Amino acid sequence: MLAVDTNVVVRYLTNDDAQQCARARSLINNNAILLSATVLLEADWVLRSTYKYARSDSVDALRAFSGLPTVSLDQPARIARAFDWALHGMDFADALHMASAADCDAFVGFDGDLAKAAKRAGALEVRKP
């Protein structure tokens, strides 16, 4: 099994460099791949900030990539939950943080928008310190 970096995922998805995309696709299609939550987190950031993907487009692309037959996730249940929450309006980074805290009583922070998005998505309660 091979673990991949964010740039491999981004090349695979964006085809912004034909040679690197071809190499990324060959690697992904012909090897067992481990995709970490941290790589997904960074890939979402790159797709949204550099490539101007909408939140839902980024989540859809990363979810499809995660579902490729050669790709395994390091935290599949948590990542799936974070994808679902992100599609309900939560920032993917926040959703991933909250999914990782699923066994806790609450998620504590100062972000009022996160609290509202978490409530709409049915995620963990967000409390202010």
pLDDT tens by residue, 38-53: 999 999 999 999 999 9
The identity of residue 51, as a single letter, is Y
Residue 67 confidence class, pLDDT cut points 50, 70, 90: very high
CA-CA distances (angstroms) from residue 63 to 95, 106, 113? 14, 26, 24
Query: Cα–Cα distance between 42 and 117 in angstroms, integer?
Result: 21
How many C-beta atoms surround the C-beta of residue 102 within 10 A?
13
pTM for the full model?
0.89
Give the mean pLDDT of the chain.
94
pLDDT value, residue 60 = 96
What does the pLDDT average to over 49-73?
A: 97
Percent of the chain past pLDDT 70, that is, above it, reads 100
Query: Domain 1-74's class?
Result: alpha beta
Domain ranges of the chain: 1-74, 75-129
